[in-house]
Structure 1
Protein backbone atom coordinates (compact mmCIF):
# COMPACT_ATOMS: atom_id res chain seq x y z
CA UNK A 1 0.00 0.00 0.00
CA UNK A 2 1.44 3.38 -1.07
CA UNK A 3 1.05 5.99 1.68
CA UNK A 4 0.25 9.39 0.14
CA UNK A 5 0.24 12.87 1.69
CA UNK A 6 -1.58 15.63 -0.21
CA UNK A 7 -0.42 19.25 0.11
CA UNK A 8 -2.58 21.94 -1.55
CA UNK A 9 -3.95 25.22 -0.22
CA UNK A 10 -7.43 24.60 -1.65
CA UNK A 11 -9.65 22.38 0.49
CA UNK A 12 -11.83 21.47 -2.49
CA UNK A 13 -8.79 20.26 -4.44
CA UNK A 14 -7.57 18.18 -1.50
CA UNK A 15 -11.00 16.66 -0.99
CA UNK A 16 -11.32 15.84 -4.68
CA UNK A 17 -7.90 14.22 -4.80
CA UNK A 18 -8.64 12.19 -1.68
CA UNK A 19 -11.85 10.82 -3.17
CA UNK A 20 -10.09 10.14 -6.46
CA UNK A 21 -7.05 8.40 -5.02
CA UNK A 22 -7.99 6.80 -1.71
CA UNK A 23 -7.70 3.03 -2.00
CA UNK A 24 -7.19 3.21 -5.75
CA UNK A 25 -4.55 0.76 -7.01
CA UNK A 26 -3.10 0.31 -3.56
CA UNK A 27 -2.92 3.99 -2.63
CA UNK A 28 -3.82 5.17 0.86
CA UNK A 29 -4.22 8.91 1.48
CA UNK A 30 -2.79 9.26 4.99
CA UNK A 31 -3.13 13.02 5.39
CA UNK A 32 -3.75 16.47 3.95
CA UNK A 33 -1.80 19.71 4.40
CA UNK A 34 -2.71 23.23 3.32
CA UNK A 35 0.81 24.71 3.18
CA UNK A 36 4.48 23.76 3.26
CA UNK A 37 5.28 23.83 6.98
CA UNK A 38 2.25 21.69 7.73
CA UNK A 39 3.28 19.24 5.00
CA UNK A 40 6.79 18.93 6.45
CA UNK A 41 5.42 18.35 9.95
CA UNK A 42 2.87 15.78 8.80
CA UNK A 43 5.39 13.98 6.61
CA UNK A 44 7.65 13.48 9.61
CA UNK A 45 4.73 12.17 11.65
CA UNK A 46 3.09 9.98 9.00
CA UNK A 47 6.14 8.90 6.97
CA UNK A 48 4.38 8.79 3.58
CA UNK A 49 5.93 7.16 0.52
CA UNK A 50 4.84 10.03 -1.72
CA UNK A 51 4.01 13.68 -1.08
CA UNK A 52 1.75 15.23 -3.71
CA UNK A 53 2.90 18.86 -3.56
CA UNK A 54 1.31 22.00 -4.99
CA UNK A 55 3.71 24.84 -5.85
CA UNK A 56 1.68 27.98 -5.28
CA UNK A 57 0.41 28.27 -1.71
CA UNK A 58 0.24 32.01 -0.92
CA UNK A 59 -0.94 31.64 2.67
CA UNK A 60 2.04 29.61 3.87
CA UNK A 61 5.33 28.09 2.77
CA UNK A 62 5.32 27.48 -0.98
CA UNK A 63 5.87 24.11 -2.59
CA UNK A 64 9.42 24.74 -3.82
CA UNK A 65 10.65 25.78 -0.37
CA UNK A 66 8.79 22.95 1.34
CA UNK A 67 10.18 20.38 -1.09
CA UNK A 68 13.74 21.63 -0.56
CA UNK A 69 13.42 21.38 3.23
CA UNK A 70 11.54 18.08 3.14
CA UNK A 71 14.18 16.39 0.97
CA UNK A 72 16.88 17.47 3.42
CA UNK A 73 14.94 16.03 6.36
CA UNK A 74 13.57 12.96 4.58
CA UNK A 75 15.71 12.22 1.50
CA UNK A 76 13.91 8.93 0.83
CA UNK A 77 10.44 10.44 0.46
CA UNK A 78 9.28 10.96 -3.13
CA UNK A 79 7.81 14.36 -3.92
CA UNK A 80 5.49 14.60 -6.91
CA UNK A 81 4.77 18.19 -7.93
CA UNK A 82 1.13 18.67 -8.96
CA UNK A 83 0.68 22.15 -10.38
CA UNK A 84 -1.05 24.35 -12.92
CA UNK A 85 2.28 25.84 -14.08
CA UNK A 86 3.32 24.43 -17.46
CA UNK A 87 6.58 26.36 -17.25
CA UNK A 88 10.15 25.22 -17.89
CA UNK A 89 11.58 27.41 -15.12
CA UNK A 90 9.37 25.79 -12.48
CA UNK A 91 10.00 22.34 -13.96
CA UNK A 92 13.80 22.63 -13.95
CA UNK A 93 13.80 24.18 -10.48
CA UNK A 94 11.66 21.33 -9.13
CA UNK A 95 14.05 18.74 -10.56
CA UNK A 96 17.07 20.55 -9.13
CA UNK A 97 15.70 20.59 -5.58
CA UNK A 98 14.98 16.88 -5.63
CA UNK A 99 11.38 16.40 -6.75
CA UNK A 100 10.81 12.95 -8.24
CA UNK A 101 8.11 14.06 -10.64
CA UNK A 102 6.20 16.96 -12.13
CA UNK A 103 2.64 16.72 -13.45
CA UNK A 104 -0.05 19.23 -14.36
CA UNK A 105 -3.38 19.54 -12.58
CA UNK A 106 -5.27 19.15 -15.84
CA UNK A 107 -3.70 15.74 -16.48
CA UNK A 108 -6.08 12.78 -16.95
CA UNK A 109 -6.79 10.61 -13.92
CA UNK A 110 -4.87 7.70 -15.41
CA UNK A 111 -1.75 9.85 -15.90
CA UNK A 112 -1.82 11.00 -12.28
CA UNK A 113 -2.10 7.41 -11.12
CA UNK A 114 0.86 6.40 -13.29
CA UNK A 115 2.91 9.31 -11.94
CA UNK A 116 2.25 8.34 -8.31
CA UNK A 117 3.06 4.69 -8.92
CA UNK A 118 6.21 5.65 -10.81
CA UNK A 119 7.71 7.92 -8.15
CA UNK A 120 6.66 5.51 -5.39
CA UNK A 121 8.78 2.86 -7.13
CA UNK A 122 11.81 5.13 -7.06
CA UNK A 123 11.52 6.28 -10.66
CA UNK A 124 11.13 9.79 -12.06
CA UNK A 125 8.07 11.10 -13.84
CA UNK A 126 7.56 14.08 -16.15
CA UNK A 127 4.44 14.82 -18.13
CA UNK A 128 4.86 13.95 -21.85
CA UNK A 129 5.31 17.44 -23.31
CA UNK A 130 7.91 18.29 -20.65
CA UNK A 131 9.88 15.16 -21.51
CA UNK A 132 9.82 16.16 -25.17
CA UNK A 133 11.13 19.65 -24.37
CA UNK A 134 13.93 18.26 -22.20
CA UNK A 135 14.98 15.86 -24.95
CA UNK A 136 14.92 18.68 -27.52
CA UNK A 137 17.18 20.85 -25.37
CA UNK A 138 19.54 17.94 -24.78
CA UNK A 139 19.80 17.25 -28.52
CA UNK A 140 20.52 20.92 -29.20
CA UNK A 141 23.40 20.84 -26.68
CA UNK A 142 24.76 17.68 -28.30
CA UNK A 143 24.66 19.29 -31.75
CA UNK A 144 26.43 22.36 -30.39
CA UNK A 145 29.37 20.29 -29.27
CA UNK A 146 28.16 18.08 -26.47
CA UNK A 147 29.72 20.16 -23.74
CA UNK A 148 28.48 19.58 -20.23
CA UNK A 149 26.21 22.32 -18.98
CA UNK A 150 27.63 24.59 -16.30
CA UNK A 151 25.81 26.45 -13.53
CA UNK A 152 25.10 29.40 -15.83
CA UNK A 153 23.35 27.11 -18.30
CA UNK A 154 20.97 26.05 -15.53
CA UNK A 155 19.64 29.60 -15.24
CA UNK A 156 16.40 30.51 -16.96
CA UNK A 157 16.42 33.35 -19.51
CA UNK A 158 14.81 35.65 -16.96
CA UNK A 159 17.39 34.75 -14.30
CA UNK A 160 20.21 35.47 -16.75
CA UNK A 161 18.61 38.80 -17.56
CA UNK A 162 18.26 39.76 -13.90
CA UNK A 163 21.83 38.61 -13.20
CA UNK A 164 23.06 41.16 -15.71
CA UNK A 165 21.01 43.96 -14.12
CA UNK A 166 22.18 43.10 -10.60
CA UNK A 167 25.82 42.87 -11.62
CA UNK A 168 25.59 46.37 -13.11
CA UNK A 169 24.48 47.76 -9.77
CA UNK A 170 20.75 48.21 -10.27
CA UNK A 171 18.50 47.85 -7.21
CA UNK A 172 15.66 45.32 -7.02
CA UNK A 173 13.11 48.11 -7.47
CA UNK A 174 14.90 49.55 -10.48
CA UNK A 175 15.01 46.10 -12.07
CA UNK A 176 11.34 45.50 -11.27
CA UNK A 177 10.33 48.85 -12.81
CA UNK A 178 12.40 48.23 -15.93
CA UNK A 179 11.08 44.71 -16.50
CA UNK A 180 7.52 45.56 -15.38
CA UNK A 181 7.45 42.87 -12.70
CA UNK A 182 7.10 43.00 -8.92
CA UNK A 183 9.99 43.53 -6.53
CA UNK A 184 9.06 40.22 -4.89
CA UNK A 185 9.48 38.44 -8.24
CA UNK A 186 12.91 40.01 -8.70
CA UNK A 187 13.94 38.93 -5.21
CA UNK A 188 12.75 35.39 -5.92
CA UNK A 189 14.72 35.21 -9.19
CA UNK A 190 17.77 36.67 -7.46
CA UNK A 191 17.60 34.08 -4.68
CA UNK A 192 17.24 31.25 -7.19
CA UNK A 193 20.10 32.35 -9.42
CA UNK A 194 22.47 32.95 -6.51
CA UNK A 195 21.74 29.44 -5.22
CA UNK A 196 22.20 27.87 -8.66
CA UNK A 197 25.52 29.65 -9.15
CA UNK A 198 26.71 28.96 -5.62
CA UNK A 199 27.30 32.67 -4.98
CA UNK A 200 26.67 34.50 -1.71
CA UNK A 201 27.97 38.05 -2.16
CA UNK A 202 27.63 40.84 -4.72
CA UNK A 203 31.42 40.94 -5.44
CA UNK A 204 31.30 37.23 -6.27
CA UNK A 205 28.35 37.87 -8.56
CA UNK A 206 30.09 40.77 -10.33
CA UNK A 207 33.22 38.67 -10.83
CA UNK A 208 31.12 35.85 -12.30
CA UNK A 209 29.22 38.26 -14.57
CA UNK A 210 32.50 39.78 -15.77
CA UNK A 211 33.81 36.35 -16.77
CA UNK A 212 30.58 35.70 -18.67
CA UNK A 213 30.79 39.03 -20.49
CA UNK A 214 27.58 40.32 -18.93
CA UNK A 215 28.88 43.77 -17.99
CA UNK A 216 28.64 45.43 -21.37
CA UNK A 217 26.91 48.75 -20.58
CA UNK A 218 26.26 49.78 -24.16
Structure 2
Protein backbone atom coordinates (compact mmCIF):
# COMPACT_ATOMS: atom_id res chain seq x y z
CA UNK A 1 0.00 0.00 0.00
CA UNK A 2 1.31 3.43 -0.93
CA UNK A 3 1.93 6.05 1.72
CA UNK A 4 -0.70 8.77 1.94
CA UNK A 5 0.80 11.93 0.45
CA UNK A 6 -0.31 15.16 2.14
CA UNK A 7 -0.62 18.01 -0.36
CA UNK A 8 -1.49 21.69 -0.13
CA UNK A 9 -2.14 24.10 -2.99
CA UNK A 10 -0.96 27.68 -3.12
CA UNK A 11 -2.69 29.13 -6.14
CA UNK A 12 -4.70 32.31 -6.72
CA UNK A 13 -6.78 30.99 -9.63
CA UNK A 14 -9.76 29.45 -7.83
CA UNK A 15 -10.93 27.60 -10.94
CA UNK A 16 -7.54 25.89 -11.14
CA UNK A 17 -7.67 25.15 -7.38
CA UNK A 18 -11.02 23.43 -7.92
CA UNK A 19 -9.60 21.33 -10.78
CA UNK A 20 -6.56 20.34 -8.71
CA UNK A 21 -8.71 19.40 -5.72
CA UNK A 22 -10.93 17.24 -7.93
CA UNK A 23 -7.87 15.56 -9.42
CA UNK A 24 -6.32 14.85 -6.00
CA UNK A 25 -9.59 13.49 -4.57
CA UNK A 26 -9.80 10.91 -7.38
CA UNK A 27 -6.74 9.08 -6.04
CA UNK A 28 -6.74 7.78 -2.46
CA UNK A 29 -2.96 8.13 -2.36
CA UNK A 30 -3.42 11.86 -1.79
CA UNK A 31 -4.90 13.98 0.98
CA UNK A 32 -5.51 17.56 -0.09
CA UNK A 33 -5.17 19.45 3.19
CA UNK A 34 -6.22 22.85 1.89
CA UNK A 35 -5.28 25.76 -0.28
CA UNK A 36 -4.19 29.36 0.02
CA UNK A 37 -4.29 32.17 -2.50
CA UNK A 38 -1.47 34.38 -1.23
CA UNK A 39 1.97 34.32 0.38
CA UNK A 40 0.93 34.96 3.99
CA UNK A 41 -1.88 32.40 4.05
CA UNK A 42 0.25 29.88 2.15
CA UNK A 43 3.09 30.02 4.65
CA UNK A 44 0.66 29.84 7.57
CA UNK A 45 -1.15 26.82 6.06
CA UNK A 46 2.10 24.98 5.34
CA UNK A 47 3.32 25.54 8.90
CA UNK A 48 0.00 24.41 10.38
CA UNK A 49 -0.55 21.21 8.39
CA UNK A 50 3.06 20.20 7.57
CA UNK A 51 2.38 18.77 4.09
CA UNK A 52 4.65 16.41 2.18
CA UNK A 53 4.17 18.36 -1.05
CA UNK A 54 3.28 21.97 -1.84
CA UNK A 55 1.98 22.74 -5.33
CA UNK A 56 3.07 26.36 -5.77
CA UNK A 57 1.97 28.88 -8.36
CA UNK A 58 4.69 31.42 -9.14
CA UNK A 59 2.37 34.32 -9.90
CA UNK A 60 0.41 34.84 -6.68
CA UNK A 61 0.05 38.62 -6.82
CA UNK A 62 1.11 41.72 -8.67
CA UNK A 63 4.63 40.74 -7.58
CA UNK A 64 5.23 38.59 -10.63
CA UNK A 65 7.18 35.86 -8.85
CA UNK A 66 5.80 35.94 -5.30
CA UNK A 67 5.80 32.15 -5.42
CA UNK A 68 9.61 32.15 -5.10
CA UNK A 69 9.50 34.03 -1.78
CA UNK A 70 6.62 31.89 -0.55
CA UNK A 71 8.35 28.66 -1.53
CA UNK A 72 11.60 29.67 0.12
CA UNK A 73 9.87 30.59 3.37
CA UNK A 74 7.97 27.28 3.36
CA UNK A 75 11.24 25.41 2.77
CA UNK A 76 12.78 27.31 5.70
CA UNK A 77 9.92 26.49 8.08
CA UNK A 78 8.80 22.98 7.06
CA UNK A 79 10.09 19.73 5.57
CA UNK A 80 7.72 19.98 2.60
CA UNK A 81 8.93 19.54 -0.95
CA UNK A 82 7.79 22.27 -3.31
CA UNK A 83 6.68 21.65 -6.87
CA UNK A 84 6.43 24.82 -8.93
CA UNK A 85 3.23 24.68 -10.96
CA UNK A 86 3.12 27.54 -13.41
CA UNK A 87 1.61 29.02 -16.52
CA UNK A 88 4.97 30.69 -17.31
CA UNK A 89 6.33 28.64 -20.17
CA UNK A 90 9.65 30.44 -20.20
CA UNK A 91 12.17 27.79 -19.19
CA UNK A 92 14.72 30.31 -17.86
CA UNK A 93 12.13 31.96 -15.59
CA UNK A 94 10.99 28.61 -14.22
CA UNK A 95 14.51 27.30 -13.61
CA UNK A 96 15.46 30.59 -11.92
CA UNK A 97 12.42 30.20 -9.66
CA UNK A 98 13.30 26.59 -8.81
CA UNK A 99 16.91 27.44 -7.96
CA UNK A 100 16.01 30.40 -5.74
CA UNK A 101 13.20 28.60 -3.93
CA UNK A 102 14.98 25.22 -3.59
CA UNK A 103 12.02 23.57 -5.30
CA UNK A 104 12.05 19.83 -5.95
CA UNK A 105 10.69 20.28 -9.44
CA UNK A 106 8.31 22.04 -11.72
CA UNK A 107 5.39 21.42 -14.05
CA UNK A 108 3.63 23.67 -16.47
CA UNK A 109 -0.11 23.98 -15.90
CA UNK A 110 -0.62 22.63 -19.40
CA UNK A 111 0.85 19.31 -18.18
CA UNK A 112 -2.26 18.58 -16.11
CA UNK A 113 -2.26 14.82 -16.86
CA UNK A 114 1.22 14.40 -15.39
CA UNK A 115 0.55 16.11 -12.05
CA UNK A 116 -0.39 13.03 -10.00
CA UNK A 117 2.47 10.80 -11.19
CA UNK A 118 4.89 13.69 -10.71
CA UNK A 119 3.73 14.27 -7.13
CA UNK A 120 4.14 10.55 -6.39
CA UNK A 121 7.64 10.52 -7.88
CA UNK A 122 8.63 13.64 -5.95
CA UNK A 123 7.27 12.30 -2.65
CA UNK A 124 9.04 8.96 -3.18
CA UNK A 125 12.48 10.44 -3.70
CA UNK A 126 14.51 12.56 -6.03
CA UNK A 127 13.27 13.47 -9.51
CA UNK A 128 15.37 14.24 -12.59
CA UNK A 129 14.31 17.87 -12.19
CA UNK A 130 15.59 17.83 -8.62
CA UNK A 131 19.00 16.59 -9.78
CA UNK A 132 19.10 19.33 -12.42
CA UNK A 133 18.13 22.02 -9.90
CA UNK A 134 20.70 20.70 -7.42
CA UNK A 135 23.50 20.88 -10.00
CA UNK A 136 22.50 24.43 -10.92
CA UNK A 137 22.49 25.45 -7.26
CA UNK A 138 25.93 23.95 -6.76
CA UNK A 139 27.23 25.65 -9.91
CA UNK A 140 26.84 28.97 -8.08
CA UNK A 141 29.58 27.89 -5.66
CA UNK A 142 33.32 27.58 -6.18
CA UNK A 143 34.96 24.19 -5.74
CA UNK A 144 36.26 25.23 -2.31
CA UNK A 145 32.78 26.42 -1.27
CA UNK A 146 31.25 23.11 -2.40
CA UNK A 147 33.79 21.30 -0.21
CA UNK A 148 32.83 23.47 2.77
CA UNK A 149 29.14 22.84 2.00
CA UNK A 150 29.74 19.09 2.06
CA UNK A 151 31.44 19.49 5.44
CA UNK A 152 28.53 21.59 6.76
CA UNK A 153 26.18 18.81 5.67
CA UNK A 154 28.10 16.30 7.77
CA UNK A 155 30.38 14.63 5.25
CA UNK A 156 33.76 13.87 6.83
CA UNK A 157 36.00 15.82 4.49
CA UNK A 158 39.49 16.99 5.39
CA UNK A 159 39.90 20.69 4.76
CA UNK A 160 43.34 22.23 4.65
CA UNK A 161 42.39 25.88 5.07
CA UNK A 162 42.63 28.31 7.95
CA UNK A 163 39.62 28.90 10.17
CA UNK A 164 39.36 32.43 8.75
CA UNK A 165 39.25 31.10 5.17
CA UNK A 166 36.61 28.53 6.12
CA UNK A 167 34.53 31.24 7.84
CA UNK A 168 34.77 33.45 4.74
CA UNK A 169 33.71 30.56 2.51
CA UNK A 170 30.72 29.82 4.77
CA UNK A 171 29.69 33.47 4.54
CA UNK A 172 29.97 33.29 0.74
CA UNK A 173 27.83 30.13 0.68
CA UNK A 174 25.10 31.76 2.78
CA UNK A 175 25.15 34.89 0.60
CA UNK A 176 25.12 33.04 -2.74
CA UNK A 177 22.34 30.68 -1.69
CA UNK A 178 20.27 33.33 0.09
CA UNK A 179 20.42 31.46 3.39
CA UNK A 180 21.02 32.95 6.81
CA UNK A 181 22.83 30.32 8.86
CA UNK A 182 24.47 26.93 8.97
CA UNK A 183 21.29 25.57 10.57
CA UNK A 184 19.26 26.80 7.57
CA UNK A 185 21.75 25.25 5.15
CA UNK A 186 21.44 21.89 6.89
CA UNK A 187 17.63 22.08 7.08
CA UNK A 188 17.09 23.08 3.45
CA UNK A 189 19.93 21.26 1.74
CA UNK A 190 20.33 18.19 3.97
CA UNK A 191 17.99 15.98 1.93
CA UNK A 192 18.28 18.08 -1.19
CA UNK A 193 21.94 17.31 -1.80
State the TM-score, normalized to the length of structure 1: 0.55
* Deviation readout 1:15-46 (Å, 9 max, x if unpaired): 11101112515011110100121111001111
1:7 to 7, 10, 15: 10
RMSD value, Cα:
2.8
Work out the CA distance in 1 between the residues paired with 2:75 and 2:50: 13
- How many residues align? The count is 137
Map 1:17-166 to 2 at 5 A: 17-58=20-61, 62-74=66-78, 76-96=79-99, 97-109=101-113, 111-124=114-127, 126=129, 149-150=139-140
* Alpha-carbon shift at residue 149 of structure 1 (Å): 4.3
Q: Is the CA contact 2:140–2:176 (under 8 Å) kept in the aligned structure 1?
A: no
Q: Partner of 2:149 in structure 1?
A: none
Higher relative contact order (CA 8 A, sep 6+): 2
- Note the residue ranges of structure 1 that are not aligned, 5 or more in a row: 139-147, 153-194, 199-218
* Deviation readout 1:59-99 (Å, 9 max, x if unpaired): 5781111011111111x211011001122322322332210
State the TM-score, normalized to the length of structure 2: 0.62
| Rg comparison, structure with higher value | 1
Q: Partner of 1:168 in structure 2?
A: none
